[in-house]
Amino acid sequence: MIDANTIKSLLKGVDVEYKNLGEITRYEQPTKYLVDSTDYNDDFKTPVLTAGKTFILGYTNEIAGIYKARNNPVIIFDDFTTAHKWVNFDFKVKSTAMKIILSADEKKYHLKFVYYWLNTLPTEKSDNDHKRQWISNYTNKTIPIPSYPIQNKIVNILDKFTALTTELTTELTTELNARLKQYNYYRDKLLSFAEDEVEWKTLDEVFYLKNGYTPSKSEPKFWHNGNIPWFRMEDIRKNGMILNDSLQKINKVAIKGGKLFPANSIIIATSATIGEHALITVPYLSNQRFTNLNLKEEYKNKYDIRFVFYYCFKLSDWCKNNITLSSFASVDMNGFKKFKFPILPLSKQKQIVEILDKFDALTNSITEGLPREIELRQKQYEYYRNLLLDFPKS
């Protein structure tokens, strides 16, 4: 593996010209490569591209107006977001809001060197006047140009780094998905009971079911100096599914009826991001996307709250399969109230919780650790890429 010293040695004393990007590239408008129909199908052959994050929008069976990039790769550049992609396969495009970038002289200016250099620039967005970024901005940017052999060496090194990073990311993602699948399988097995194996109660028999709410944003006093946790979907996304604090807090004057939802309640999304749920371990409020489940007094000594939390994965699956569509998607609340919850001995509940806690800890360790490893590899790649492309101005 190449290191920083090798790179510095490679670039030591290299002569560099500084040119405007517009001098070393040319562009083509993609008008004649536009797709006629958005009737995409994965069985079709030709990808339809956008320069944004989606990149491949779908596949078309149209045979006219295909850009032949298989043997002559290009850069596609989104004129508004400045997102760009390296394309080495034949394609069509969805929109004219991009440019196809080529080398102005393939013997002097390695297009993939240009592509890697573009990746070192921060993403820019056009102003509200929707100006086209390539002509108005990017063609005037100054790019360092070493000799073609040096450009080629840099491209080869970065190609190898990219391949290694992609391979590692694929391996780690595959490992993560396998572990999650295994965890979900065992959780489902541990939480599956025959109809006559346990006692069953409906959700509205076991829990008080109440909607959350959002205090008015036009009332500053509701939000100023707040210390009451107010949970939203963002809390689950950022901090997980067992929560003791929230990203936003409200003032006590915003509490309807002066009552909070009690600690050790479940929040579950019954509209918007349906089925997402969390165990809240402190007194709190939540927004209106959540239905709040807190145990009725007569059931508090019959349930381990962490068993309830784990069984709500079953409830979550039910919610996702029982959605009503009106002006927005929401759960069939009549069916929701009649969802059946098992009652089994507390000792059995605790045994299941102990097993699932261990699985959860292992899975969370992997879930957190693997993306962190992927991020570190990406940062390592970016470090070497920037080092290879950082030519000091004399």
Residue linked to tokens 């309640």: 265
Instruction: Specify the length of the chain in residues.
Output: 394
User: Looking at 116, 144, 172, which one is the last position of a domain?
Assistant: 144
Alpha-carbon span 207 to 204, nearest angstrom:
5
| pLDDT score, position 264 | 96
Alpha-carbon span 24 to 367, nearest angstrom:
44
Please provide the average confidence, as pLDDT, over all residues in the chain: 90
Q: For the chain, how many structural domains are there in total?
A: 3
Residues paired with residue 56 on neighbouring β-strands, in sequence order: 49
* pLDDT higher than threshold 90 for residue 14: no
Give the confidence band of 6 by pLDDT, cuts at 50, 70, 90: confident
Nearest CA-CA partner of 355 in 179, 193, 191: 191
**Cβ–Cβ under 8 Å, residues 49 and 91:** yes
Of residues 225 and 126, the one with the higher pLDDT is 225
* pLDDT higher than threshold 80 for residue 49: yes
**Cβ–Cβ under 8 Å, residues 261 and 300:** no
User: Looking at 129, 144, 159, which one is the last position of a domain?
Assistant: 144
* pLDDT higher than threshold 70 for residue 366: no
Of residues 322 and 172, the one with the higher pLDDT is 322
Q: How, if at all, do strands 277-280 and 242-243 pair?
A: parallel
Residues 151 and 248 in one domain: no
Q: ∠ at Cα 319 (250, 315), nearest 5°?
A: 85
* Rg of the chain over all Cα atoms, to the nearest angstrom: 28
| pLDDT score, position 179 | 84
Structure tokens of 332? 């069939």
**Cβ–Cβ under 8 Å, residues 346 and 302:** yes
Residues 46 and 27 in one domain: yes
Residue linked to tokens 């508004």: 80
| pLDDT score, position 326 | 66
* pLDDT higher than threshold 80 for residue 327: no
Residue 98, exposed/middle/buried by CB under 10 A (0-12, 13-18, 19+)? buried
Give the confidence band of 392 by pLDDT, cuts at 50, 70, 90: low
Most confidently modeled range among 108-122, 123-137, 318-332: 108-122
| pLDDT score, position 208 | 96
Give the confidence band of 334 by pLDDT, cuts at 50, 70, 90: very high
Most confidently modeled range among 48-52, 171-175, 264-268: 264-268
Nearest CA-CA partner of 243 in 286, 288, 301, 181: 286
Residues 101 and 169 in one domain: no
Alpha-carbon span 343 to 311, nearest angstrom:
11
Residues 338 and 226 in one domain: yes
pTM: 0.65
Alpha helices in 290-345 (DSSP H): 305-320, 333-337
Residues 166 and 182 in one domain: yes
Q: Kindly compute the dihedral angle of the four CA atoms of residues 240, 245, 249, 254, in this order, to the nearest 10 degrees.
A: 110
Residues paired with residue 268 on neighbouring β-strands, in sequence order: 277, 291
Residues 54 and 138 in one domain: yes
| pLDDT score, position 252 | 93
| pLDDT score, position 212 | 93
| pLDDT score, position 122 | 81
Range of the domain at 41: 17-144
Residues paired with residue 28 on neighbouring β-strands, in sequence order: 100
CATH code, domain carrying 298: 3.90.220.20
Residues 284 and 213 in one domain: yes
pLDDT, tens digit, 9 for 90 and up, residues 72-124 = 999 999 988 899 999 999 999 999 999 999 999 999 999 999 999 999 988 76
Residues 207 and 262 in one domain: yes
Q: How many helices and strands, by DSSP H and E, does the chain display?
A: 11, 21
Nearest CA-CA partner of 274 in 214, 328, 320, 210: 320
Residues 201 and 189 in one domain: no
| pLDDT score, position 46 | 96
| pLDDT score, position 286 | 96
Q: State the average pLDDT over residues 42-61.
A: 91
Phi-psi region of 172 (alpha: psi -120 to 50; beta: other; left: phi over 0): alpha
Residues 109 and 130 in one domain: yes
pLDDT, tens digit, 9 for 90 and up, residues 281-308 = 999 999 999 999 999 999 999 999 999 9
Residue linked to tokens 């806690």: 357
Q: State the average pLDDT over residues 158-187.
A: 87
User: Looking at 343, 362, 383, which one is the last position of a domain?
Assistant: 343
| pLDDT score, position 127 | 52
Q: DSSP 3-state assignment of 361? A: helix
Residues 30 and 119 in one domain: yes
Structure tokens of 216? 């008015």
> For the ranges 252-256, 298-302, 373-377, which has the lowest average pLDDT?
373-377
Residues 206 and 320 in one domain: yes
